[in-house]
Amino acid sequence: MPEPISSTPQPTSSYKEQKIPIKYPNTWQRNKWISMFVTALLMILVFGSAAYVAYHGEQQKQLAKYIDVEPEATIILPKGISTSPSPNTPESKNCDCSWAITGSTNVEFLITDPYGKQTGYLKDLKTYAREIPDSSYGIESGMADDLGQNPPQPDIQYFGMNSADNGVYKLEVIGRENGSYHIEIAIVWGPMNTKSILFDGDLDVNQVDSYQIMFPSGTIQKLNK
């Protein structure tokens, strides 16, 4: 006999296995973000360096501006002041200033920084040194009249330095010829913070006048009579 047919419906499964696709990172998009990050970092470095150079360039411009103008305060150093520099100079820190020394070409300069490094003329060796970082020394040609109506200005002896350290600097003025000399020291801390010092002296050939310049105050003293 045939088996009876059940009228009870058989359960059917509505579950269907679904596969969820795995999304892998988009390589092109990832490289794009990396490239943008590297570009931004490079721009920060470039503009930061440019800002640093511009800042020190502005200090040099301000220094050049004030070298040849009438000083606000002129100090004439009398001969006979004898003050020895302290042998124990305090630990130096940068004074964030620029300074320059100019004078007639009948003299040479030798500058010694608080660490003993020198820039200028070595009298005994008859040669020149430039050990002080970010310093320059030599003869600067006098400015000429573009219209040719006046003779050019005389050449000058020049020392210049950016970023001086706090402490005592020694200046030696060395005679190349017999006669008088005229020195101007210009110090620039910023556009509205400058100082100019003028003084004169007399030297024979190879004779030396010694001075000390103290930073950050910018004061100067004559060491020998």
pLDDT digits (tens, 9 = 90+) for 155-183: 999 999 998 999 999 999 999 999 999 99
In a domain, 51, yes or no: no
pLDDT at 154 over 60: yes
In a domain, 52, yes or no: no
In a domain, 38, yes or no: no
In a domain, 25, yes or no: no
In a domain, 208, yes or no: yes
Phi, psi at 21, each rounded to 5°: -70, 140
Average model confidence (pLDDT) across the chain? 74
Q: pTM for the full model?
A: 0.59
pLDDT at position 79 is 42
- Name the more confident of 83 and 100: 100
- Integer Cα distance of 176 and 123 in angstroms: 10
The whole domain housing 184 covers 67-222
- Integer Cα distance of 96 and 67 in angstroms: 18
Provide the number of structural domains found in the chain.
1
In a domain, 217, yes or no: yes
What's the pLDDT band for 11 if we cut at 50, 70, 90?
Answer: low
| CATH number for the domain harbouring residue 194 | 2.60.60
Sign of CA pseudo-dihedral 58, 59, 64, 70:
positive
In a domain, 90, yes or no: yes
- Integer Cα distance of 145 and 150 in angstroms: 6
pLDDT at position 69 is 38
Is the Cβ–Cβ distance between 206 and 192 less than 8 Å? Answer: no
In a domain, 15, yes or no: no
Residue with tokens 């020694």: 170
